[in-house]
Structure 1
Amino acid sequence: MIMPESETFPHAVDRSSLPANVDDPSTFNHRFADVNGIRLHYVEEGEGPLVIMVHGFPFLWYLWRHQIRSVAAAGYRVVALDMRGYGQSAQPESANLYDMSQVVGDIVGLINSLDEKSAVLIGHDWGSPIVANAAMMRPDLVRGLVMMCAPPTARPPINPLSAWERIYGNLNFYQRYFSTPEAEIEIMSDLRSFLLGIYYSTSGSCQENERWRWAWKQGEEFSETYTIPDRAPDFLSVQALDYYVENFTKTGIKPALNYYRSLERTWEITSYLEGAVVSQPAVFAYGENDPSIRPVLGIDRQGPALSALKDICPGLRGIFEMPGVGHTPPEEDPTETTRIILDFLSSL
């Protein structure tokens, strides 16, 4: 069921008369839908074949603000949503309500609520494995995929906690840390600095020695793994940073961390995906300076996943490395990100 705008944007306005400030969230069309037992917030622009944009951590629908109107203008119905736990979407309390079956269920419910029969899915960071799982779980609803920065992997033979112990041993690993109550306390103690530091340190704008480290030694603190700059990087306006901070201040960071806390449950309930592949047409893009693809302390975390991408995605049509870009292509190089998306859409 599609709902009217929230109290945050209470008045219907002639949006064609609004200034084209892509960083102003009020210039987008905000909608709500009751699906899968929760209320989802999304923005919508354009008419045509449905394209759904899925963000990762720690972002919002707003990650795609540079792409939404451009893709819509090319003849598509573009929907970018706040995933459950984020922004103006519902924030279920239990971490068990953030497993992959639930978040894929949200996307399925959203497609149905929009009276559409299928969609092309675009995912960044967490959104990448989410859209890949949606393609495997409901291939009838997914026509194609654009994935960014986090290559999906086959379901591992052992649960994530056991895998972390084998690979990282006594090292601290960010996914393991994000599963702890201490992470929530630390992040919320200075939310603005955390967001600014992560956005900067994972980008292509920072120096080599300022890049985020996804693993760190015993005796180090998580706060030592990223750099807080004196000001926001050029690709992130003060207005944009303020919007992220405002939303995470309202929701807290716990709901977003629940995605990490549900990883073991996802593994437990998805044995039926053993050997499953993404058969739909797909492309994958990542930044050459993305710290998540770089080895840390001798461990190459993403390299094997990139090498195996064609195995799990036999319909893969291309892998794009974006020069000078870090972990956030939609914001760091919006023009090239839009080009990759539109080229793929036009090829379907």
Structure 2
Amino acid sequence: MSEITHRTVETNGIRLHVAEAGEGPLVLLLHGWPESWYSWRHQLPVLARAGYRVVAPDVRGYGRSDAPLEVEAYRMKALVADFVGLLDSLGERTAVVVGHDWGAAMAWDCAALHPERFRAVVGMSVPHLGRPPLPPTQLFRKAFGDQWFYILYFQEPGVAEAELEADIPRTMRTVLAGTAGFDVTSEVVRARKPGDEFLTGVPTPERLPSWLTEEDVAYFVGEFSRRGFRGGLNRYRNMDRDWAELPELATVKIEQPALFLVGEKDPGRAFAPVDLMKPLVPNLREVRVLPGAGHWIQQERADEVNAALLEFLASLPA
């Protein structure tokens, strides 16, 4: 990782830690939950060598970035403003924005709300679904009824934090390498009852998959041991607030060139249908499903993701 440098940048009234590499057109990489800039460790040097300036921040609430206390500090409007301000602080007028998981939702919204600043967009794992007809938590309650659902479990401040922070090494190992609590297709998760937790019934794997090393897990453990899980969980607690604050997402179209990547075995596919995205993203160049891959695709399938990103970036106007 000798090509990657680190610094702190001021934007939108907070400080973001960023990892960066290379020179050229800017590519902004946004991570999801529960991750950090480190999730892009395989992309930063490859894109940099291909002639791009690549910047991966710790999103507010994560790693070495600021973590405001208030729940509302993690609403989508604030996060998008962070990234617009980050472009300003980097001295860049435009960027290609790439996001995974919650970072994908942020990337899509950056492109939708600020097309003059984000000239193309890549989403991974989470499609752009616009604005639903009802606040998201109401939809989830209708869809899942009495069935346990992780986003509803995350809503009460302090509850999930206490569980996940009780044994951070177990949490990170289980979430990254085991059956995650967001896998609504798994029998373990489907068997949960009210009062169960995110990791209830999930064994912690002794052996890691080939794409994840003990050093990788240790890095994530260190980041969440420093910062805790509150900031990332607060993102889930703003979904209804976002619905109220951003009504334009119901109709605005993302006209920029776009790419969507998803793992064939990503559990999110069970409740985030890609077809709903297509009318809102008319210049969606491709939906690429990576055979056999799960949720953490830029880590699991780094070579394939890098190839897809390089192909997409090369297709864009200079």
Return the TM-score normalized by structure 2. 0.93
The one of 261, 281, 292 equivalent to 1:324 is 292
For structure 1, the 5+ residue unaligned runs are: 1-21, 204-208, 295-300
Instruction: Report deviation, 1:175.
Output: 0.8
The one of 177, 190, 193 equivalent to 2:170 is 193
Asked if 1:336 corresponds to 2:304, the answer is yes
Q: 2: distance between equivalents of 1:278 and 1:98?
A: 23
Amino acid at match of 2:198: F
Cα separation, partners in 2 of 1:79 and 1:219, compared to 1, 3 Å: closer
Q: Deviations over 1:53-106 (max 9, x none)?
A: 000000000000001010011010000110000000000000101001000001
The one of 292, 306, 313 equivalent to 1:345 is 313
Aligned residues: 311
Preserved CA contact (<8 Å) 1:285 1:319: yes
Cα separation, partners in 2 of 1:214 and 1:119, compared to 1, 3 Å: farther
Instruction: Report deviation, 1:35.
Output: 0.5
Instruction: Report deviation, 1:172.
Output: 1.5
Q: 2: distance between equivalents of 1:211 and 1:67?
A: 34
Instruction: Report deviation, 1:39.
Output: 0.2
Q: 1: distance between equivalents of 2:252 and 2:190?
A: 28
Matches within 5 A, 1:223-302: 223-224=199-200, 226-294=202-270, 301-302=271-272
- The residue that corresponds to 2:159 in the other structure is 182
- The residue that corresponds to 1:141 in the other structure is 117
Cα separation, partners in 2 of 1:40 and 1:221, compared to 1, 3 Å: closer
Tell me how large the CA RMSD over aligned residues is: 1.9
SS of 2:27's partner is: strand
Preserved CA contact (<8 Å) 1:214 1:225: no
Amino acid at match of 1:272: E
Q: Deviations over 1:177-204 (max 9, x none)?
A: 112222111111111111111101359x
The one of 298, 301, 314 equivalent to 2:282 is 314
Instruction: Report deviation, 1:241.
Output: 0.7
Preserved CA contact (<8 Å) 1:155 1:273: yes
Q: 2: distance between equivalents of 1:97 and 1:347?
A: 36
Asked if 1:92 corresponds to 2:71, the answer is no
Cα separation, partners in 2 of 1:101 and 1:227, compared to 1, 3 Å: same
SS of 1:157's partner is: coil
For structure 2, the 5+ residue unaligned runs are: none
Cα separation, partners in 2 of 1:117 and 1:306, compared to 1, 3 Å: same
Instruction: Report deviation, 1:224.
Output: 2.8
- The residue that corresponds to 1:65 in the other structure is 41
Matches within 5 A, 1:17-96: 22=1, 28-96=4-72
